Amino acid sequence: MCKKGRFTICICWALLLFLSLPARAQEMKWKGDSLLTEAGAIPVGAVIIDARSGSGLSRIPNAVVLDWKSFFDADTHSLKLPAEIQEIFGAAGVGVGPVVVYDDGGLKGPAGMIFWLLEYVGHLNVSLLNGGLKAYQERGLPLSAETGKPSPVKFGVTPRPEVAMNLRELISRFGDYKVTILDPRSDEEYLGWALHGEKRGGHIRTAISFDPDWACDAAGGLKPQEAVYELLYQKTLTPEKEFIIYSNFDTRGTGLYFLLRLAGYGSAACFTETFNVWAENELLPIAQAKNWKSLVSPEWVYQLVRTGKADTFTNKSFAVYECSWGTLEKAGKAYKSGHIPGAFHLDSDTFEDENHYWDLFEFETLAARFAKEGITKDTTVILYGNGSDTISATIAFWALRYAGVSDVRLLNGNFERWIALGYPSEMTINVPKAAESFGRTTPQHPEYAKSTEEVKLLLKDPNARVCSVRSWPEFTGEVSRHSYIKAKGEPAGAYWARAGFGENKSDLSFYFDPDGSYRSYIEVEKMWVDLDITPSNAVVFYCGTGARGSTAWFFSHLMGWASALYDSGWFGWSEGKEVSPNPSQRIWSFD
């Protein structure tokens, strides 16, 4: 093609792009875009509500301060009557004109509660300040040390009871296939930790775990809407459904309510009572992971490190280990640059034999190596990873449980979540004191590990599931993704348990949430069941050498499944010359 022709085509493409910009800009708007106000675009004459409580705070000029707890009975935590709520808003100067609410950013703060309360009593001309006060400050806009002095007005709109639901109403809708119940609380609470005085820990059965702050960036503002809509759909939150959101006596649920309204979802309501009320009645169904204590929060670890005490910790001693692939000298860069105070470094080669497919050492050697790291069967061991070394923590968890350490915990979200929550770190190189002995002469859980010969038999068992935790290109025999594994394929008859989308051999996207914490165990279980992997099967996980498989095994441990890890993985299988490219599975390729 001549240069002139190329130039003409470029001009045409540029013109088409230019002409499409208004339409594209229109597409980029939130479906409920009027519910979000950007800093610097607060409407003139709007009532501005600062939802943060406390004195001495810098505020947007003329902002009225409202404490969300004033809308609830102080003793019972029950929501006040609509007329009482309207009276409080009227005293704050809220009439029928626009209202802008803000807090410190994110979607779990009190601004979402004020938003929901206003919609509940009928005021629909309300929006949230995107990014909160921080976004406002970053624009260099004026602040004031004074609070606004409102002129009371008559609050004259009709309540909307459909956006609120009491216990009786929630029970009447429980089990309705059209209704999706949402839990915005932490992973740990969803798993089973009772952190707010609940009689029973866990979650309302069938509820989906969804943290509203997944939709926010690090600064507390909303992520691009395409990313948020994609996340909503990934979690099966689609607009045709009806949603009921619950939480404890806090503001997490109403932030999720706002997100659904912003996305244009037409039917959402908040449970006006607390999860504690549901948990109090033993006739009402609650679900929890069988081994929920195994996954701990940064808050739990911080309390243990600082005070030596934490809920469910009953041992005399504990130790925290940052796990990685390789020695402190060769692979401990992350540990040296900062780690949890008091934490030791744990090299995966402590328990894996590099000369035999990175399988566990024979038990006498394994026990001695753990003892050298200060670990005995009676030590409470807390493990975490850092960056790409996340899966080294799950395979260490499996190895310790196999050997017989009775109390092993995994830090949810690893070191990244610890830092994100503002907890301290140190750069001191801590060296553990060696124990006299591990305390066992045989592994406590030999059933957690399967050999190649055992896997051969399981592959012939129609009730068994030998599950590959590898990417689709690996599973279908297109690539190996390990320089030291030459063969491509899978053991014939293997099931696919998924891993991740990326080309990185450590990618486990299907097992993590957007903030780096572990995915809801209920979602993982459903994913497996959809792939014909169920708790009634004899389940064995594997990957290239076992590491990714150990993350899947950890989830099965949380659930209480009777499962095992084939530690030799595809490496050991293929080196044993039992290689099958699995041609029956290769026909699924999309090439």
**Would you give per-residue pLDDT tens digits along the chain (591 residues)?**
443 343 333 333 333 333 333 333 334 579 989 999 999 999 999 999 999 988 889 999 999 999 999 999 999 999 999 999 999 999 999 998 999 999 999 999 999 999 999 999 999 999 999 999 999 999 999 999 999 999 999 887 889 999 999 999 999 999 999 999 999 999 999 999 999 999 999 999 999 999 999 999 999 999 999 999 999 999 999 999 999 999 999 999 999 999 999 999 989 999 999 999 999 999 999 999 999 999 999 999 999 999 999 999 999 999 999 999 877 877 668 899 999 999 999 999 999 998 888 899 999 999 999 999 999 999 999 999 998 678 999 999 999 999 999 999 999 999 999 999 999 999 999 999 999 999 999 999 999 999 999 999 999 999 999 999 999 999 998 888 888 888 998 999 999 999 998 777 788 999 999 999 999 999 999 999 999 999 999 999 999 999 999 999 999 999 999 999 999 999 999 988 666 554 444 333 333
Contacts of 176 (CB under 8 A, 6+ apart): 242
H or E element, residue 493: none
Structure tokens at 571: 């490496």
* Domains located in the chain, CATH noted: 33-159 (3.40.250.10), 163-289 (3.40.250.10), 293-444 (3.40.250.10), 450-586 (3.40.250.10)
Contacts of 473 (CB under 8 A, 6+ apart): 479, 481
344-347 and 318-324 strand pairing: parallel
Count of positions (residues) in the chain: 591
CB 114 within 8 A of CB 142: no
Largest CA-CA distance found in the chain, in angstroms, rounded: 83
Beta-carbon count within 10 A of 89 CB:
26
Q: How many helices and strands (H and E) does the chain possess?
A: 21, 23
Per-residue pLDDT, 579? 61
Q: Decide: helix, strand or coil at residue 205.
A: coil
Per-residue pLDDT, 584? 41
Per-residue pLDDT, 583? 43
Per-residue pLDDT, 321? 98
Opening angle at CA 430, ends 428 and 433, nearest 5:
160
Per-residue pLDDT, 425? 97
Residue 244, beta-bridge partner list:
181, 269
Per-residue pLDDT, 12? 38
Structure tokens at 281: 């009645």
Q: How far apart are CA 422 and CA 298, in angstroms?
A: 10
CB 143 within 8 A of CB 171: no
Per-residue pLDDT, 577? 66
Q: If you write DSSP's letter for every residue of 3-59 in order, what string do you get? A: HHHHHHHHHHHHHHHHHHHHHHHHHTS-TTGGGEE-TT-PPTTPEEEE----SS--B
Of 366, 355, 359, 543, nearest to 444 (Cα)? 366
The whole-model pTM stands at: 0.91
242-245 and 268-271 strand pairing: parallel
- State which amino acid sits at residue 202: G
Per-residue pLDDT, 334? 87
Distances (CA, A) of 151 to 48, 83, 91, 114: 13, 19, 7, 19
Opening angle at CA 100, ends 98 and 106, nearest 5:
150
CB 64 within 8 A of CB 47: yes
Q: How far apart are CA 215 and CA 122, in angstroms?
A: 26
Q: Specify the DSSP class assigned to residue 413.
A: T
Per-residue pLDDT, 9? 36
Residue 206, beta-bridge partner list:
none
H or E element, residue 330: helix 328-331
* Strand runs labelled E in 63-216: 64-65, 99-102, 126-129, 164-165, 179-183, 203-204, 208-209
Per-residue pLDDT, 326? 79
CB 193 within 8 A of CB 77: no
Q: Decide: helix, strand or coil at residue 439.
A: coil
Cα torsion 545, 548, 549, 550: sign = positive
Q: How far apart are CA 103 and CA 129, in angstroms?
A: 8
Ramachandran angles phi, psi of 301, nearest 5°: -65, -40
CB 245 within 8 A of CB 184: yes
